[in-house]
A = this chain, B = another copy of it.
Amino acid sequence: MIKYSGQTRILVAVDCIIFGFDGENYKLLLVQRGFAPERAKWSLMGGFIRPDETLEQAANRILKQLTGLENVYMEQLQAFSSPDRDPVERTIAVAFVALIDIHKYEKQLSKEYHAEWFPLKEMPHLIFDHEKMVELAKNSLRYKAAFHPILFELLPEKFTIPQLQALYEGLYDTTLDKRNFSRKLLSTGLLIKQADKDKESSKKGAFYYKLDQNRYLDDFQAFLNFIPKPDKFLINETTLN
């Protein structure tokens, strides 16, 4: 099925930047390589694309392979194509960002792939250009989350406003005024208050909320300005490359 002559065919891989949030810190799901090169070093979960699948399908397959999870929020970040980024053979890697509710994959981490959650701030050194991918993913997440209700993907179905606030504060490494924050969040109309409370983290307890799924899908593209002056927290793209 080779028909264009005189062209070089290249390996194409997918690498997944998988974010989670444990209520306290952002976490990154990494795997320890069991094979050369860079054996025993940490890396993003990845794999080569197959002849009959799209990059998106490959990313989902690879994520499922590791975590067993399906229907996860996932989006294409960027293609990385430095000719010598993989010392073994030229490989173009397309990075995908996945956001998962960490509770869905916390215990029984894959032994096969030697998977482990690392606090984003204590990330080990990664192989190839994977650290750059993570930096870019972090920046992209900060960008998107400032406008779009995307961080909900990191929380379980029921969550509290204080949890949500910790999520935003963690991403931008800042503190937010809780009165202004909850006013803004509630004014989106995306949240449905539940009757029950989460009593884990306080005596009083905090009311649970759920996402209004219909509005969530409709308003995903809406600009909601969750974060004041988001550019303060963003790294100039040119610096990242």
Contact = CB atoms under 8 A, between A and B. Distances in A.
Contacts of A76: 78-79
B89 A4 contact: yes
Interface string A86-114: 00111110100000000000000000000
A188 B41 CA distance: 47
Contact of A4 (B1, B7, B48, B234): B48
Interface of A: 1-4, 7-12, 48-56, 76, 78-79, 81-83, 88-92, 94, 217, 220-223, 229-231, 234-238
Contact of A83 (B9, B51, B217, B223): B51
Contacts of A222: 231
B81 A7 contact: no
A76 B217 CA distance: 26
Contact of A11 (B4, B56, B90, B230): B4
Contacts of A82: 54
Which 7 residue pairs spanning A and B have beta carbons closest together?
A9-B9, A55-B81, A3-B89, A54-B81, A3-B88, A222-B231, A7-B48
A18 B236 CA distance: 24
Contacts of A78: 76
Nearest to A224: B231
Given A56-B81, A223-B229, A223-B231, A89 B49 contact: no
Nearest to A57: B81
A55 B92 contact: yes
A190 to B, nearest CB: 14
Contacts of A12: 9-10, 12, 92
A163 B91 CA distance: 44
Contacts of A54: 81-83
Contact of A48 (B8, B11, B94, B238): B8
A240 B3 CA distance: 30
A235 B234 CA distance: 25
A89 to B, nearest CB: 4
A55 B9 CA distance: 14
A86 to B, nearest CB: 9
Given A90-B1, A231-B222, A236-B220, A8 B55 contact: no
Nearest to A8: B51
A8 B50 contact: yes
